[in-house]
Amino acid sequence: MTSLADGTGHPALRGLPAVWLRANCPCAGCQDPGSGQRLVAVTDLPADVTVAGVQASDGAVEVIFGPDGHRAVFAAGWLARYGDRGPDGQDDDRTEDAKCLWAAADLGGGIPQGWWPRYLADPEHRSACLSAVLTHGVVVLHEVPCEPGAVLAVARSLGYVRETNYGRLFDVRAEPAAANLAFTRLPIAPHTDNPYRDPVPTVQLLHCLHAAADGGGDSTFTDGFRAAAVLRRQDPAAFTCLTVTPVTFAYADAAAVLRATGPMIGLDPRGRIRQIRLNGRSLAPVRLPTAQARAFYAAYRAFAGLAAGPDAMVTARLAPGDCVIFDNTRILHGRTAFADGRGGGASTGRRHLQGCYADLDGLASAVAVLARDQAGRAGQADQASQAGQAGS
Amino acid sequence: MTSLADGTGHPALRGLPAVWLRANCPCAGCQDPGSGQRLVAVTDLPADVTVAGVQASDGAVEVIFGPDGHRAVFAAGWLARYGDRGPDGQDDDRTEDAKCLWAAADLGGGIPQGWWPRYLADPEHRSACLSAVLTHGVVVLHEVPCEPGAVLAVARSLGYVRETNYGRLFDVRAEPAAANLAFTRLPIAPHTDNPYRDPVPTVQLLHCLHAAADGGGDSTFTDGFRAAAVLRRQDPAAFTCLTVTPVTFAYADAAAVLRATGPMIGLDPRGRIRQIRLNGRSLAPVRLPTAQARAFYAAYRAFAGLAAGPDAMVTARLAPGDCVIFDNTRILHGRTAFADGRGGGASTGRRHLQGCYADLDGLASAVAVLARDQAGRAGQADQASQAGQAGS
């Protein structure tokens, strides 16, 4: 055995210090074999933990810790994954770094698409459709039955419905005395939904039951991460302004009074774009000193302009049976105005969508479970067990 | 009328620049009278908007804008709320600034409490109980019926149940082959639930159906915002480390593979504490260069130590019928170990809690609606209409 106080001198330890190794000891006393959860609180580890010895052989690395003589046996490949030179790629893939940013031209004329009957029958197709939401932010599924409530079955297939004050699902159609602009015939600029909520619904679904009879009412989609990245390149000060200025979005009706505060462009601690909040309709009056208010509005206008630009925005006409699924932390959606037959019933072609909300963590889990199942079928059963890192 | 290019020279405009005033014009062409939503996109405002004239009289301030001659009439009091010298206080009250931080001794021996029958009958009591979750992060309601599923009724009274892979509700009791440490008799250190989810459930409810028969199994609560604030004072470098280092939490079982990445102490863009993620059981191995890994573990240990310290942590024994409601972005909960009768049924006193998740935005809305109703009953009906700032 080699003795070395912090472990980092031994090549098999890959630069991982003693405290890291001890905190990640896989023995049954430190990690529950059933659940994969850590059994030992960080406060119960020896404060002065050292590596007293290392023995590497046959793909296993045994570590003896001081001062208490505790022993851990790691798989060498596992240490390599986490050591200094190991690859990245175990984070949650929610920032711009993990996304495929797109301009309208990059999509080749339309958003990624799939077909509901095949989605149900074929796990690979289902995985491809849901993966498109993770990479491109949006997918449209064709041939979803034109039945009220079908959108809930789509949501259920990828996670869990997020119920809100709008209900488990909501109808989007022109109404006589609308409490929300969504329920009028007016055009709607690219926006994220419900920024007055925290947590915001991270996935939105919209299912077309009836298209507008006389043109208009098309849906628009913009990659908000790309629009923010373009702003960062073209006008770094404007980008920074929108990342450091918390603004409040607000909504109130007879049954709800909602408000949430956050920056229009949310970054992770490493400065990567992670969450867009853009919705002119529900932005509460900003509360800033005069010069900052001017700078904020200039930046906001620039960002909204990029989001609505023809090179950024894809227009898609949803046909009856189409259900679009998108990442509401990234994709800005909107619609063109429509005229439509007034007072018409279903048969007149009156535009009618049904929507609901869900969340990205459930969707990403569905994709990961499908991938694990595929790997399992390919005989790589160890991947399933390695994924078992768990906790409440 | 006074003419002044940016408006900021006129005292009635309170330092609010022309672009702010135009973007917040309350006329029926700019703001939907029914919904309160903005009708005009920021990109459709004149880029070179000016204040061409101002006339103030009788509590109203009329502004004529250049270059297009658009007119807006503001209530003077409304402008005063937003101008340079106006009070703060329209954000979502989710950061430390809006909270009442507490140490164990500040609570006078117990967490805030209420009674379910009175909560149902008396809106003021209901408002006080739910407000305690916003200010102190936690409340316990006594006398909730000891019936399976009753926790869902409590959740429904304050918002919407967040369904997850654990279901709409979950049972917390010792199980023979637990997929999660929650379902064992082991002690559990102070933690937030489900940090491997994004969005994390922001409210947790736990309803006691049966207490442990032979002692132990007590619940613990710590104000995580205060623990973070104490760390900031005692060891600023450790605090900063936990705010700038994204870590990944992970969970996997037969039906789910979840991971989410974020800092243990989440700040808003102004540097205020907004979200705690602390859960040793589900922390995935961190991926940091050697020196940073050492610093991270020292900081993590210090924070976890503060959270579990006797001055920070309140211990409460939940009795059958008690339902605790807490802010899962702030309050760290845990439990002491328990022995309990093995294999016992309900009558043996086997510890059994039922839990579910909900969200803070719905809870805050419930409080705001109750406040609006109370104000309405007090004849201040204008407050209700002023709250109407809306959008999807």
- Name the residue among B16, B92, B293 with its Cβ closest to that of A17: B293
ipTM: 0.92
B129, B191, B194: which is closest to B162 by C-alpha? B194
Is A289 in Cβ contact with B269 (below 8 Å)? no
| Tokens describing residue B131 | 């407000």
Distance of CA B340 to the CA centre of its chain: 34
Nearest to B390 among A34, A191, A251 (CB): A251
Helix pair A224-234, A290-308: axis angle to 10 deg: 120
- What average pLDDT does range A304-309 have in this prediction? 96
**pTM, full prediction:** 0.92
- Listed residue (B82, B170, B341, B252) closest to A283, CA to CA: B82
- What pLDDT does B187 receive? 79
CA distance A124 to A36: 28
pLDDT at A392: 59
Contact A351, A340 (CB under 8 A): yes
Residues of chain B where predicted confidence (pLDDT) is lower than 70 = 1-4, 84-89, 176-184, 340-349, 379-392
For chain B, say whether A181 makes contact (Cβ under 8 Å): yes
Supply the pLDDT for residue B275: 98
Residue A203 CA to residue A324 CA, distance in Å, equals 10
Judge whether B323 and B170 are in contact, CB under 8 Å: no
| Rounded-to-integer distance, Cα A56 and Cα A44, Å | 27
Q: Residue A334 pairs with which residues in a beta bridge?
A: A220
CA dihedral (B130, B132, B134, B140) in degrees, to 10, reads -70
What residues of chain B lie within 8 A of the CB of A293, using their CB?
16-17, 19-20
CA distance A390 to chain B (A): 4
Q: Please tell me what DSSP assigns to residue A5.
A: T
**Local structure of B155: helix, strand or coil:** helix
Contact (CB<8Å) B42/A297:
yes
Out of B161, B290, B304, the one facing A43 most closely (by C-beta) is B304
Closest CA to B322 of B205, B157, B221, B217: B205
The pLDDT of residue B345: 41
Burial track B116-130 (b if 16+ CB lie within 10 A, e otherwise): bebbeeeeebbbbbb
Q: Is A24 on the interface with B (CB under 8 A)?
A: yes
Contact A62, A54 (CB under 8 A): yes
Contact state of A37 with B282 under an 8 Å Cβ cutoff: yes
* Across A40-54, A344-358, B317-331, least confident range: A344-358
A98 lies within 8 A of chain B by CB: no
pLDDT digits (tens, 9 = 90+) for A153-181: 999 999 999 999 999 999 998 766 666 66
Q: Please report the pLDDT score of residue B159 as a whole number.
A: 97
Task: Average the pLDDT over A343-363 and give the result.
Answer: 78
Chain A residues within 8 A of B36 when measuring between CB atoms? 252
- Is B21 at the interface with chain A, CB within 8 A? no
Measure B60 CA to nearest chain A CA, in Å: 18
Which helix (H) or strand (E) segment holds residue A374: the answer is helix A360-377
pLDDT at residue B384 in the model: 36
Nearest to A84 among B181, B281, B289 (CB): B289
Q: Is omega for the bond preceding B187 within 30 degrees of 0, making it cis?
A: no
Q: Does pLDDT of A387 surpass 60?
A: no
CB-nearest to B392 from A193, A262, A268 is A193
Predicted pLDDT of residue A201: 98
CB B319 within 8 A of CB B210: no
Alpha-carbon distance of A288 to A331, in angstroms, equals 28
Q: Is the pLDDT of residue A217 over 60?
A: yes
Q: β-strand A113-115 against A138-142: which pairing, if any?
A: parallel
Residue B347 tokens, joined = 């009558």
| B141, burial (CB in 10 Å: exposed 0-12, middle 13-18, buried 19+) | buried
Distance from CA of A80 to the nearest CA of B (A): 11
pLDDT at residue A310 greater than cutoff 70: yes
Count the Cβ atoms, other than its own, within 10 Å of residue B171. Answer: 15
pLDDT per residue as tens digits for the range A327-349: 999 999 998 877 755 544 433 45
Q: Given an 8 Å threshold on Cβ–Cβ distance, is A16 in contact with B290?
A: yes
Q: Which whole-number Å values give the CA distances from B324 to B115, B117, B132, B138, B330, in the listed order?
A: 11, 15, 12, 7, 14
Confidence (pLDDT) at B389: 38
Smallest CA-to-CA distance from A33 within A25, A45, A21 is with A25
Cβ contacts of A263 on chain B, cutoff 8 Å = 269
Tokens of A79: 């240490």
CA distance A378 to chain B (A): 17
Chain A nearest C-alpha distance from B357 (Å):
12
pLDDT digit string, tens, across residues A183-197? 667 778 999 999 999
The DSSP secondary-structure symbol of A31 reads: B
How many C-alpha atoms does B108 have within 13 Å on its Cβ side?
3
Under an 8 A CB cutoff, do B246 and A268 touch?
yes
Query: How far is it, in rounded angstroms, from Cα A356 to Cα A350?
Result: 20
What is the per-residue burial (b if ≥16 Cβ within 10 Å, else e) of A30-66? bbbebbbbbbbbbbebeeebbbbbbebeeeebebbbb
Q: Which of A8-17, A216-225, B51-60, B344-353 comes out lowest in average pLDDT?
A: B344-353
Tokens of A214: 């006389």
pLDDT of residue B2: 53
**Which residues of chain B from 326 to 385 reach within 8 Å of chain A, CB to CB?**
359-362, 364-365, 368-369, 372
- Mean pLDDT across chain A: 89
More confident residue, A8 or B206: B206
Quote the pLDDT of residue B343: 46
Q: Which of A29-38, A209-218, B309-318 has the highest mean pLDDT?
A: B309-318
Q: What are phi and psi of A326, to 5 degrees?
A: -145, 160
Residue A380 scores a pLDDT above 60: no
Chain B residues within 8 A of A127 when measuring between CB atoms: none
> Which alpha helices (H) appear in chain B, and where do they start and end?
18-23, 76-82, 116-121, 123-135, 150-158, 224-234, 236-244, 290-308, 360-377, 381-386
- DSSP 8-state assignment for residue A71: E
User: Which pLDDT score is estimated for A389?
Assistant: 38
In A, minimum Cα distance to B300 occurs at: A42
CB contact A259 to B (< 8 Å)? yes
Query: At residue A142, does pLDDT exceed 60?
Result: yes
Q: Does B270 touch chain A (CB under 8 A)?
A: yes
CB of A180 within 8 Å of a chain B CB? The answer is yes
